[in-house]
Structure 1
Amino acid sequence: MRDILEDMMRVWQSGRVGGLATLVRTFGSSPLPVGSAMLVDPDGGVHGTVSDGCYEAAVLETARIAAATGRRELRRFDPTSGLEVGTDCGTIDVFVEPFSRGHFPEFPTVAQEIFAHKPVTVFTVVWHTDPEVIGQHLVTERKHNTELVSLPESDIFVRSYTAPPRMIIFGANPFASALTVQARLLGYRVTVCDAREAFASPQSFPGAEVVVEWPHRYLNAEAAAGRIDGSTALVLVSQDPKFEVPVLTVALRLQDFGYLGALGSRNAHLRRIEALRAGGFDDMTLGRLCAPAGLDIGAHTPMETAIAVAAEMLALRSRATATMAAA
C-alpha cells in the first residue's frame, strides 16, 4: 500500500468512493509480496497491482464492484476460477472493499505514520461469521508480522509498516540524481549530503532529503543518533579525496550497515585504498567497501551506473538473507 499512499489520500480527501484490493495470501511462489494493493479511484483510474498479470483484469472488476455496491469479501483467484488465464498462474487470495472516508475513517492516521517513517500496523477483518464485521479496521503502533491470521470465527489480515530502508548519498552530482531515482523505485528513503551549497539543490533531487554539511560530520551525527543500521546503504559519488576519505574513515568504523560503495575508476580506487591503509585500516576492514561500486555491466551513464549499483546492493542483500536462513 505504501506505493499508492498518495493516490489513496486523494480519494479519501475527495469524499468519493473507490475500490481497494489487497493481496492477503499466496500459494506457492509469487512475484508480489503479501500486502500489495490495487486502488481503483472514482474516475476509473488504477493504481498499484496485486498480480503479475494473471488476474489483474478480474481483480480490477471485483474492486469496481466493491466501490459501486459496498461489497466486502475475500476472493480466491486460481486457474480453476473460470478465468482465461494460463495454467502456470498460481493461486492468490485477495480482499476487496470499498474505500472512502466512511469505509476507512482511520486511514489518515495510517498515512501520517507511514509518511513520518514510523511503525504502524493495520488489522483488517477479511472474513467473519457476522458479515457486518467484515472490513472493520484497527490501527496500532505495535509491530507485527504481515500475515493472514485464521481464527475460529474470523480471518484477520495483519499489515505491518516499518520505516523504509535508507540510502545516504555523499556528493551532489548527476550520478547522485540518477541513484536517487533508482533507490526510490526500490523503496529507499534517500538523503543526499554535500558540503557545497551550490550543488546541493533540493530541486535537483526530487523526493530526497538534501543536507548541506561535510559528509563525515553528517555521518558521524547520524551514527551517534542511532540512525544507521543493517539496512542502510551508504554510497559515495564524489571522488574528491577531501570529501571521500574522511567519510569512508567514519563509515568503515561503523559496526553495521547494509551496503558501502564508492564510485570511481580503478586507479582512483587504488589511491583511495592507499589513503585508507595509511589511516590504519587492514584488508579485512577494507573488504567491506564495494569499489568501484556496482556490478560490471558495462555502465557508462549516470542512470546505467545507478542500475549497476542497485543490482550490486540487491545481490549482497540476497546473499546475506540466504546466509542468515542457513545459519
Structure 2
Amino acid sequence: MRDIVDDLLQVWSSGRTGGLATIVRTGGYVDIPVGTAMLVDPDGMIYGSMASTGIEDIVYEATVQSARTGQRALHRLTVPGAESAGDGGIIDVFTEPFSRGYFPEFPAVAAEIAEHRRITVFTVVWNPEPGMIGQHLITDKRHATELVSLPQSDIFVASFAPPPLLVIFGANTTTAALASQAQLLGYRVAICDPRPAFAVPESFPGAEVVCDWPHRYLNVLVAEGEVDASTGIVLATHDPQFEIPLLTVALRLPEIGYIGVTGSAHTCTRRLDELRASGFDETMLARLHAPAGMDIGAATATETALAVAAEMVAARNGRLGRITVAFPAEAAI
C-alpha cells in the first residue's frame, strides 16, 4: 500500500468512495508479495497493480463491486497457469470500500508513513459477525506483514517500517542519478558534500542534502540511530582526505547493509592499500564493494546509477553473485 498512499489520500480527501484490494495470503506458485494493494478510484481509475498475477481483471471487478455496494469480501483466486506449474498457486484478496466513512483513521496512517515512522494496520478480513469485517486498528508496534488466523477472526497485518536509508557522499551527476533511482526503489536518500557550491538541495530533488565533512556526518547519523542493517552507503568522491576517514568509520560499523565506492579499478586498489595500511584486514575489507555496481557496461551517469542500485538490491536480498565494473571518473572533492 505504501506506493499508493498519496492516491488513497486523494480519494479520502475528495469525500467520495473508491475501492481497495489487498493481497492478504498466497500459496503455491505465486510471484507477488503479500500486502500488494490496488486502488480503484471513484472514476474507475487504477492505482497500483496486480498485473503479474493474471487476476487483475477479476480483482478490478470485485473492487468496483465493493466500492458500489459497501460490502467487504475475501476472495480466493487461482493463478492462471499455476496448474501447469504443478504448484496450484492461489491468492487471497480482500476487497473493501475506501472513503472517509469506511477508513476515518487513514490520514494518520498516511502521515506516519510520510514521516518515515513505523506503523501497523490490522484489518479484520473474516469474522462470523459481518459488522466486524473491515474494522481497522492502528499501532506503532513492530509486526510482520501477514494474515493471522484466530479462532473467530482472520486478521491481516500490514506493517510499514521506515524506508531504508541510502547516504551518498559526494555531490555530482552520478549522485543525482543514483538518488533518483534509489527513491524509485523506496530508499530515503541523504547526500553529503563538504563543498557549499555542490551541496545544493535544488540539484537533488527529494533528497536531504547536507554540507558537512563525510565522516563527521556519518558519525552523527550513527549517534542518532539512523544507521542499521538496511542502510546503504555509497562513496562517489575520489579525494583521499575525505574518503579514507569516511571508510574508516563505515567499515567499523557493526550493522550496515551496503558499502560501495565508485571509481576506476586503479582508484579502488589505491583505496584498499591505504585502508590496509590503516589496519584493516581482508575480512573487514570484504564488506566493501569496490568498484561498486554490477557489470552492465555502464557508460553514463544514469547507467552507473542503475548498476549500483542493482547491486544494492542484490545485497539487500542476499544475492551477492556480483561482477565489478569500473565507472566514469567524477570530479574529486
Taking structure 2 as the reference length, the TM-score comes to 0.90
Q: Does 1:70 align with 2:93?
A: no
Cα separation, 1, equivalents of 2:188 and 2:225: 16
Correspondence 1:316-327 to 2 at 5 A: 316-319=315-318
Cα separation, 1, equivalents of 2:288 and 2:153: 50
Deviation at 1:122, TM superposition (A): 0.7
Q: Does 1:26 align with 2:26?
A: yes
Instruction: Kindly provide the CA deviation profile for residues 89-127 of structure 1, in whole angstroms up to 9, marking residues without a partner as x.
Output: 831010001111110001111111111211111111111
Could you say what secondary structure the match of 1:6 adopts? helix
Q: In structure 2, what is the equivalent of residue 145 of structure 1?
A: 144
Could you say what secondary structure the match of 1:210 adopts? strand
Could you say what secondary structure the match of 1:164 adopts? coil
Q: In structure 2, what is the equivalent of residue 324 of structure 1?
A: none
Aligned partners of 2:30 and 2:53 also within 8 Å: no
Write the letter of the residue equivalent to 2:197: A
Write the letter of the residue equivalent to 1:241: P
Q: In structure 1, what is the equivalent of residue 189 of structure 2?
A: 190
Aligned partners of 1:32 and 1:51 also within 8 Å: no
Write the letter of the residue equivalent to 2:177: A
Cα separation, 2, equivalents of 1:71 and 1:306: 45
* Residues 193 and 30 of structure 1, relative CA distance in 2, 3 Å threshold: farther
Correspondence 1:34-113 to 2 at 5 A: 34-78=34-78, 85-87=80-82, 90-113=89-112
Deviation at 1:320, TM superposition (A): 7.3
Write the letter of the residue equivalent to 2:195: R
Cα separation, 1, equivalents of 2:41 and 2:202: 30
Deviation at 1:53, TM superposition (A): 4.2
Cα separation, 1, equivalents of 2:274 and 2:51: 50
Cα separation, 2, equivalents of 1:300 and 1:243: 25
Correspondence 1:215-230 to 2 at 5 A: 215-230=214-229
Could you say what secondary structure the match of 2:267 adopts? helix
Cα separation, 2, equivalents of 1:43 and 1:143: 35
Deviation at 1:13, TM superposition (A): 1.1
Q: Does 1:11 align with 2:22?
A: no
Q: In structure 2, what is the equivalent of residue 82 of structure 1?
A: none
Cα separation, 2, equivalents of 1:269 and 1:246: 15
Could you say what secondary structure the match of 2:4 adopts? helix
Deviation at 1:26, TM superposition (A): 0.4
Could you say what secondary structure the match of 1:155 adopts? strand
Cα separation, 1, equivalents of 2:150 and 2:188: 36
Taking structure 1 as the reference length, the TM-score comes to 0.91
Instruction: Kindly provide the CA deviation profile for residues 23-47 of structure 1, in whole angstroms up to 9, marking residues without a partner as x.
Output: 0000124322111100111222211
Deviation at 1:177, TM superposition (A): 1.3
Cα separation, 2, equivalents of 1:240 and 1:228: 24
| Structure 2 portions without partners, runs of 5+ | 321-333
Deviation at 1:187, TM superposition (A): 1.6
Could you say what secondary structure the match of 2:102 adopts? coil
Q: Which runs of 4+ in 1 moved over 6 A?
A: none
Instruction: Kindly provide the CA deviation profile for residues 181-235 of structure 1, in whole angstroms up to 9, marking residues without a partner as x.
Output: 2212222111111112222222222222111211111001111222211111100
Q: Give the share of equivalent positions with the same residue, in percent.
A: 58
Cα separation, 1, equivalents of 2:237 and 2:30: 39
**More divergent stretch after superposition (36-45 vs 198-207):** 198-207
Q: CA RMSD in A?
A: 1.8
Q: Does 1:156 align with 2:155?
A: yes
Aligned partners of 1:192 and 1:210 also within 8 Å: yes
Cα separation, 1, equivalents of 2:283 and 2:58: 54
Aligned partners of 2:31 and 2:53 also within 8 Å: no
Deviation at 1:51, TM superposition (A): 4.7
Instruction: Kindly provide the CA deviation profile for residues 159-198 of structure 1, in whole angstroms up to 9, marking residues without a partner as x.
Output: 1111111111111111111111221222211111111222
Cα separation, 2, equivalents of 1:242 and 1:278: 15
Aligned residues: 316
